[in-house]
Amino acid sequence: MRSNSYTLIFTSLITIFFGFLLSVAATSLKPRQDINIEIDMKKNILGALGIEPKNSGKWSIDEVQKVYKENIVGIVLDKDGYETDKDPKNIDADKDMNFFPIYIHKTNDNINGYVIPISGKGLWSTLYGYFAIEPDCETAKGITFYKHGETPGLGGEVEKKWFQDNFKGKKFIDGNNTLVGIQVVKGSVDKSSKEAYRQVDGISGATITSKGLEVFLKEDLAKYQAYFNLNKEAIG
């Protein structure tokens, strides 16, 4: 019969051995994981802008890298809306609270749109996505969500094309240049309403998720208002 000390030593050695293997595996896989995260981010930024893969209907890694490099410039703003020398890759939203990444869609020095990261509480989870804005700095160009834990068929509909397409062309600035955000209504938008310009159709049974989205989208847009106001002044 084995002694208790033998069992303890054997168990400890097995634990250390497999812990070492897991550590090696995690270290060796990290570069690939980082690349996958980067590619997913770029796909979502392009998707928010309405840029789609040309041929296959599905992005390849090489195509994502090429299209992103040719079209997108990432910068970091300070709280007053001025560009800094920081790299968006190095910004931690939880720590760098006065610095805001923004991605600019450019072709031949012409600005075609902007993309900002958005995140906030829904019903069960924090939702993460990107919000694209037209060059006028007040109209939605698109929206994507790449991570959430909302209920499939309910709050989870935020990731569906039908819902995201609702945002295109909606205004989040009113006629007085005031940030009013975009409202997710219960049911369908009443097109005769004076608020219809900033409203999108709601998700049945997902009121809390919808209201959460309204709140954090407006809060995130507010972080960039200084920058957008500067741009409006520059173009007259």
For residue range 152-170, what is the model confidence (pLDDT) as tens digits?
Answer: 988 899 999 999 999 999 9
The predicted pLDDT at position 26 comes to 60
36-67: pLDDT as tens digits: 788 889 999 999 999 988 876 788 888 999 99
Most confident stretch, 16-20, 43-47, 50-54, 90-94: 43-47
The predicted pLDDT at position 19 comes to 72
The predicted pLDDT at position 2 comes to 56
Mean pLDDT value across the chain: 88
How much of the chain is in helix, strand and coil states, percent to nearest 5? 40, 20, 35
Give Cβ neighbours of residue 15 (< 8 Å, ≥ 6 apart): none
% of the chain beyond a pLDDT of 90: 62
| For residues 205-226, average pLDDT | 94
Q: Is the pLDDT score of 73 beyond 90? A: yes
DSSP per-residue string spanning 33-98: HHHHHHHHHHHHHHHHTT---SSSSS--HHHHHHHHHHHEEEEEEETTS-B-S--GGG--TTT-TT
Q: How far apart are the C-alpha atoms of 107 and 125, rounded to whole Å? A: 37
| For residues 191-198, average pLDDT | 93
Q: Is the pLDDT score of 118 beyond 60? A: yes
The predicted pLDDT at position 33 comes to 67
Q: Which of 156, 213, 161 is nearest to 184 (CA)?
A: 213
CB atoms within 10 A of CB 226: 16
| For residues 167-179, average pLDDT | 94
| Domain extent listing, the chain | 61-234
More confident call, 23 vs 208: 208
Q: Which of 168, 222, 177 is nearest to 200 (CA)?
A: 168
Q: How far apart are the C-alpha atoms of 62 and 142, rounded to whole Å? A: 24
Instruction: Supply 184's token pair.
Output: 């997710």
Q: Is the pLDDT score of 234 beyond 80? A: no
Q: Is the pLDDT score of 1 beyond 60? A: no
pTM of the model: 0.84
Give the strand order in the sheet containing 110-121. 72-78, 99-107, 110-121, 126-133, 140-147
CB atoms within 10 A of CB 188: 11
